[in-house]
Structure formats: structure tokens, C-alpha cells
Amino acid sequence: MTDRPNVLFVMTDQHRGDAIGADPACPTDDGYSIVHTPNVDQLVGDGALFSRAYTPAPSSIPARRCLWTGQTPATNGCTNWTTDDWEFENPLPRLLRDAGYQTRLTGKTHSLPQRNHFGFEQMELHAGLTDPDDYSEWIDGRSDGEYGEISHGIGRNSWDPRPSHLDEHEHPTNWTTNRALEFFETRDPTRPFFHCVSYVRPHQPFDPPQRYWDMYAERDLPVPYEGEWSEDTYREYVPEYPKTSAWCADLSPTTIRRARTGYYGSITHVDHQVNRLLRKLSRIGELADTLVVFASDHGDMLGDHLLWRKTYAYEGSARIPLVVRFPDEMAVERGRVVDRPVGLEDLMPTFLDAAGVDIPDTVEGRSLLTLVTGDSDDPDWRDCYHGEHGPIYHDENATQYLVGERYKYVWNPVIDDELLFDVRADPGEEVDLSDDSEYDETVESFRERLIERLADHPEGYSDGEALQPRGADRPSA
């Protein structure tokens, strides 16, 4: 055995920050959270919930590159969706492996090429993409090729939902858990482990097993947020006959409610699988010595402001759940909701810090342990967080954003449009404050910060004195 903690990192895909029950902005019914995630919520009692956690780039590939390198999108060369192979100087799993950890990933990586281990010793893959993976080969063998994960006919980026056609034990969410449990049974007990269990859901298709669909099918679910500003910004992009993969669509209330039924059902399904992981660690006597982190790569708009999927600066897309459960012997303040702005690039230094591994100079994030040990109100912590995404879905659909504990400033570098939201008072971002003279100083302060932040940015969005919009004809990042 070792005195260094094990690490269980549970990751979901396209999971909104307000879609866990413990989150302060989770929608409620009669005062209780609508989204049922008791197993993730209970982690907060032995740890912390980071209620201002964001993705540095709200789509899978750039977000995950930042996660595994501890770097910002511009530094690791990925400010947009990209197909470049992953070649990192100091990826997290390699550093932990070299420090003596047994490193394993079960589920989704989105690494390029798909079988790139980038430091993981072992990998059981469910990528949820077009290329074959370990899950697709398993389900093909089980069904003799008669059915597979999406033979129900729902696309991988579709807002059109339905319950899964698969038996619950054949669903990829269960498969991912089963493969993870096998690792706990066969791992090397002489080394601490770093095990990333990465679920594809609640990413589309919104297809939980029937039991989880039924949990929400008759509930009074929240309707999408609608800002007056969004009509001016997005109405012109709404198609009369939207594709099921549309990024912008004005769908019927019934369709939206069904999409949310499938989405929330998928989240509760994952939550129950998290309980299986925690019970297993408890039974083998490892839970007390394990750092458990639950997070996602980005969120999903679910119809807010006429938008679907991700890549946007708005809360549904950019804010993520982040819950940490600390090992029993770690001297930290527990049961806290931390509202300081944090992001995915902070996870790598957090894991290294907990493992007693030196944090390389290439890492730009900071260890979250500084916010829960000693002075929990660290005055040197960042007062705002920067995120971005290059044009995708449409030439004018690009974003830069800064968010603090209260306000969020959003700038579109193509059309030179600004928005300001009070995300504490208005978590749905329905009221744009950027034209309100009362907030002129706030807007100017954020604008100056973004000018400074982007001064050396590869896209040339700032000359150090003013923001420089690039126009719709600029090449994608």
C-alpha cells in the first residue's frame, strides 16, 4: 500500500452545471431539485461543490485537451474544434504514471487518433463516435450484429429523444461502469491508481433506459430560458424545417420537454452508476483513501435562447458540474460551496498536488486545493475566468467570455457584439445589461481585461489597446 491517495475521476459529456441536484441553480419543484443525483450530491458533504466551474472551450476536443494538459486553448493550439493528433509535452496521465500511479481510462477520451493513450497504461474505450470501439465490438458480439448502440435511429447530435431500445444492462453507461469495476478487481494493489471513468452520456442521443425516462416523463420540467437579446441575435438563423442536429431551432414545447426528459434521465442513470463505483471502492476498503472528482467537459443549451448543443459562452453550454470528495485524512474544509471562478485546466494541477507530484511549468491552471485548505478565500485566486470558442456551425458563431463570481461578459469577435449578464441574480442570462448606463464601468472593466488577455492571442483579437473583430470571412481557428 501507499500513503498517496488513489484518484477516481468521473467525467460526463455535455453535462450542464445546473443539472445536478446540489447545484444552487438547479431547477426546483416545490422547493426540491428536479434533477435527481443523490450519489453525486452526497460527495459534497465530504468535499466541495464548485458552483462557478467553467469549460475553457465549450466543445469536447478543445475542452479535453485543456483538461489533460492543464493549459488554456490558445497555449495548446486548440481554440476551436480540431482534428489534429494529440501530442502533448506533459499530459497528466503520463506524469502520474511516471510517478508510480497505475493509470487507466474507461469510456470516452476523444483523443486523436482514437486509440492514442497519451500516458494511460490501460484503456477500455466507448467513444460514441463513428469508428469502432470496445463497446461497439462488445454489443455487436452480443447481438450477432443485429442491433447496436444507435440502431434505434436517433443521431449522435440529435435533439430528438426516445428511451433506449437496449436492455439496461446493455446500455453503454452500464457497460462503462462494468469495465471500470473489473479494473478495481484486477488492478495492481501495490500502486495507487488514477482511474478516469468517462461516460458519453448525457451527450446525445437522449436515450436513457425506459426506467430513467419514466422518472421525468410526467414531471413539470423547466422551460428554456429566453432573453430578449436572443431574438435579435439568433432568430434569423432559425430554420423552418430544422435538422435533428440543428444548433439553432425553435421547437415545440412538447419536443423540448421530451428532450429534457431524455437528458435528465440520462444524468440520473449515470448518477446511479456512480453509486456502483463508490460502493465497490468502499467494499474493497479503498474509498477512504481516494480523491473522487466528478466533472464534465461542457454543457448543453437544451433550447435556451433558441440554441442546442454547445460551443456557446452561455451558462447552459459553458458552466459545468464540479464536485470533489476528499480522502479522509486530507486536512480540508468540507461541505462547502465554493463560488470562485475555476475551470478544467485547474484539474490537472489539483490531481498532481494531491498526489505529491511536481506541477510542470507548462501548466497554467492552479490547484483547487488552495481554495479548500488553509485560507479558503485565497486573495491571489483569479477574480475572473476566460473561455472561448472559434466559429463553428456558422461563420458568425464565435465567442470570447470572461466570468467572475457575479458578472459574465461575452464578446463575439466576428460581429463585434457585447453582452453582460448578472449570473448570480439572473442564472438564465435573460437580461443583457451591456446597454444599461449603470453598468458602463463594469463593461469597460471586462473589456479592458479581455484586451489584455488576448494581446498575444494567435487569432489577433487584440492589439493591446482595443479589441479587434476579425469579420465573418476570417479562417476558423
Q: Three-class SS of residue 334?
A: coil
Q: So what's the pLDDT on residue 475?
A: 37
Retrieve residue 68's grid coordinates. Answer: 489533460
Bridging pattern class, strands 322-325 and 47-50 = antiparallel
Distance CA 316, CA 300 (A): 5
Taking the CA atoms of residue 322, residue 387, residue 401 and residue 198 in that order, the dihedral angle to the nearest 10 degrees is -40
CB 421 within 8 A of CB 431: yes
Contact 293, 10 (CB under 8 A): yes
Alpha helical stretches, state H, 130-234:
134-143, 172-186, 210-217, 228-234
Segments in 358-463 forming alpha helices (H): 440-453
Q: Is the dihedral of CA 63, 67, 69, 74 positive or negative?
A: positive
Closest CA to 225 of 443, 25, 446: 25
- Any residues with CB less than 8 A from the CB of 168 and at least 6 apart, and which? 174, 209, 210, 211
Taking CA atoms, 20 is separated from 10, 28, 38, 51, 449, in Å, by 14, 11, 9, 11, 32
Among candidates 173, 214, 411, which has minimal Cα distance to 313? 411
Strands 290-296 and 322-325, bridge-based pairing: antiparallel
d(CA 206, CA 263): 5
pLDDT given for residue 374 in this prediction:
62
CA–CA dist 393, 374 (Å, integer): 45
Question: Which pTM was predicted?
Answer: 0.96
Which of 332, 335, 300 has its CA nearest to residue 63? 300
- pLDDT reported for residue 477: 33
With CA atoms as reference, report the closest residue to 192 among 295, 330, 332, 286.
286
pLDDT tens sequence for the chain (477 residues) = 357 999 999 999 999 999 999 999 999 998 899 999 999 999 999 999 999 999 999 999 999 999 999 999 999 999 998 778 899 999 999 999 999 999 999 999 999 898 999 999 999 999 988 889 999 999 999 999 999 999 999 999 999 999 999 999 999 999 999 999 999 999 999 999 999 999 999 999 999 999 999 999 999 999 999 999 999 999 999 999 999 999 999 999 999 999 999 999 999 999 999 999 999 999 999 999 999 999 999 999 999 999 999 999 999 999 999 999 999 999 888 999 999 999 999 999 999 999 999 999 999 999 999 999 865 567 889 999 999 999 999 999 999 999 999 999 999 999 999 999 999 999 999 999 999 999 999 999 999 999 999 998 988 999 999 999 986 444 333
Q: Which long-range contacts (CB under 8 A, 24 or more apart) does 329-332 make?
A: 329/288, 329/289, 330/5, 330/291, 330/354, 331/373, 332/47, 332/48, 332/369, 332/372, 332/373
Residues near 198 by beta carbon (within 8 Å), at least 6 away in sequence: 10, 11, 12, 13, 105, 106, 107, 108, 109, 176
User: Rounded distance, CA 223 to CA 257, Å?
Assistant: 7
Nearest to 400 by CA among 452, 465, 473, 438: 452
N-terminal to C-terminal alpha carbon distance within the chain: 47
Residues 6 or more apart in contact with residue 410 via CB below 8 angstroms: 313, 314, 399, 400, 401, 418, 419, 420, 421
